């Protein structure tokens, strides 16, 4: 059993803030297994590396003997997270939420230890909550207090709409903490307000308040915005190894250290070694990033897949060869073949027009040979069974439909 200070050293790594820090030390000192809460809303079916950041932290708690309470926000998902931008999210049906929850759970247990995890759904207690009870809960918060929340304040300032029900989101999340009697709750930095609301409500409910632990938001592969599927900059946990490797290689250099810290399973000591290499420049950034990509692929697909993914990467991007397994796609045989339409059928272009643009931009190759701009018709023999390439990384092999 590690001392509270030793545990703290591990738990603190890669965190943004622990509020209050001393309270966590005190809780650790009791020696009992702590209850660590994480709430996730199953609003999208796929998890990405950004979601994995708190999951990894949970795993660290588990490895130190603590209990994880993973709350599936099947009820709060109906409210919708009031995270600022484009509010027009199509309301999810109960079925969609259920389905999302299933994949969510499956993916989460790639990281978590099931034995030390308590899985709860907040519809269990939020669903039966009556209006009277809701009034009692909401009376514990003031409008001014809720408006302090960053994104509410910002939206209010920018004269963008805030629906009344969105105010209830932090209330619901806080109530979750009361129900599960959390010792610690995790969240991204943007969650600090909600976490603190839980702390307050617990205290007012006569419970020992939870400690709030926030983790940095992981930027997506564009290096600017936080990782999100809707920004198109996400690395999915279920992405194929090659895909995952490629995406990781494309992150900006400046993010390499952060990714090491938040997306790999290296120990605190190993991380410090890597960070030293990066800051002194003793190892080439490209090499660092390769290792990062390998490590991450390894977490989700195993060591062999990581080695294969790197080999495939070299083949396509270093030696500019086609990948080993170019997908064969059946198309209607025609002679001549209208190339823009073919690109669309092969899934290499969303429309014929886009296909045309790709050709004119010099981005289309057949067996590695560029197609000249303005050439839209080719003989069937020239394409059938050959490797058609759009851009640097999209390949397909047309074969006649049988």
Residues that bind RNA (CB under 7 A): 156, 159-162, 222-223, 232, 245-247, 249-253, 285-286, 289, 313, 317-318, 334, 336-338, 340-341, 344, 350-354, 356-358, 360-363, 376-377, 390-394
| Euclidean distance between CA atoms 93 and 338, whole angstroms | 42
Q: What are 74's strand-pairing partners?
A: none
Q: Running DSSP on this structure, what letter comes out for residue 85?
A: S
What is the full DSSP assignment across 275-332? Answer: HHHHHHT-S-HHHHHHHHHHHHHHHHH-HHHHHHHHHHHIIIIIS-PPPTTPPEEEE-
Q: How far is the CB of 84 from RNA (least distance, A)?
A: 13
Q: How far is the CB of 16 from RNA (least distance, A)?
A: 24
Which residues make Cβ contacts (< 8 Å) with residue 30, sequence separation at least 6? Answer: none
Q: How far is the CB of 362 from RNA (least distance, A)?
A: 4
Residue 61 or 313 with smaller CB distance to RNA: 313
Q: How far is the CB of 75 from RNA (least distance, A)?
A: 23
For helices 241-249 and 303-313, angle between their N-to-C axes, nearest 10 degrees:
60
- Sheet with 328-331, strands from edge to edge, namely 328-331, 394-400, 388-390, 364-366, 369-370
Residue 50 or 340 with smaller CB distance to RNA: 340
Tokens matching residue 26 = 């005190």
Residue 95 or 159 with smaller CB distance to RNA: 159
Q: How far is the CB of 165 from RNA (least distance, A)?
A: 13
Q: How far is the CB of 313 from RNA (least distance, A)?
A: 5
Residue 130 or 161 with smaller CB distance to RNA: 161
Tokens matching residue 368 = 């590695």
Let me know how long the chain is. Answer: 402
Residue 204 or 344 with smaller CB distance to RNA: 344
Residue 190 or 222 with smaller CB distance to RNA: 222
E-strand ranges in 248-382 read 328-331, 337-338, 364-366, 369-370, 377-378
């Amino acid at each position: 059993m590690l001392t509270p200070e030793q545990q703290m050293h591990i738990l603190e790594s890669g965190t943004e803030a622990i509020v209050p820090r001393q309270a966590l030390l005190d809780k650790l000192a009791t020696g009992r297994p702590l209850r660590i809460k994480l709430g996730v809303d199953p609003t999208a079916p796929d998890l990405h590396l950004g979601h994995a950041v708190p999951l990894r932290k949970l795993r660290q708690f588990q490895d130190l003997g603590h209990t994880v309470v993973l709350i599936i926000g099947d009820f709060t998902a109906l409210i919708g997270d009031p995270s600022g931008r484009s509010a027009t999210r199509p309301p999810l049906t109960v079925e969609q939420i259920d389905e999302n929850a299933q994949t969510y759970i499956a993916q989460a247990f790639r990281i978590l230890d099931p034995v030390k995890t308590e899985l709860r759904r907040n519809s269990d207690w939020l669903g039966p909550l009556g209006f009277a009870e809701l009034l009692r809960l909401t009376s514990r918060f003031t409008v001014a207090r809720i408006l302090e929340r960053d994104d509410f304040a910002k939206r209010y300032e920018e004269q963008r709409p805030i629906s009344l029900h969105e105010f209830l989101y932090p209330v619901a999340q806080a109530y979750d903490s009361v129900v599960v009697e959390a010792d610690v709750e995790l969240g991204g930095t943007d969650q600090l307000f909600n976490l603190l609301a839980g702390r307050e409500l617990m205290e007012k409910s006569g419970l020992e308040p939870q400690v709030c632990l926030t983790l940095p938001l992981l930027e997506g592969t564009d290096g600017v915005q936080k990782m999100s599927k809707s920004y198109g900059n996400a690395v999915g946990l279920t992405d194929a190894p090659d895909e995952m490797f490629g995406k990781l290689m494309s992150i900006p250099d400046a993010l390499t250290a952060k990714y090491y810290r938040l997306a790999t399973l290296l120990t605190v000591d190993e991380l410090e070694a890597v960070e030293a290499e990066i800051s002194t420049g003793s190892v080439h950034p490209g090499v660092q990033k390769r290792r990062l990509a390998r490590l991450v692929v390894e977490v989700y697909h195993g060591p062999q897949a990581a080695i294969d993914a790197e080999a495939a990467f070299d083949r396509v991007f270093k030696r500019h060869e086609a990948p080993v397994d170019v997908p064969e796609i059946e198309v209607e045989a025609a002679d001549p073949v209208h190339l823009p339409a073919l690109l669309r059928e092969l899934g290499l272009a969303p429309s014929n027009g886009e296909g045309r643009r790709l050709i004119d931009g010099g981005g289309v190759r057949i067996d590695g040979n560029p197609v000249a701009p303005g050439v839209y018709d080719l003989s069937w023999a020239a394409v059938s069974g050959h490797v058609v390439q759009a851009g640097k990384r999209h390949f397909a092999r047309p074969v006649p439909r049988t």
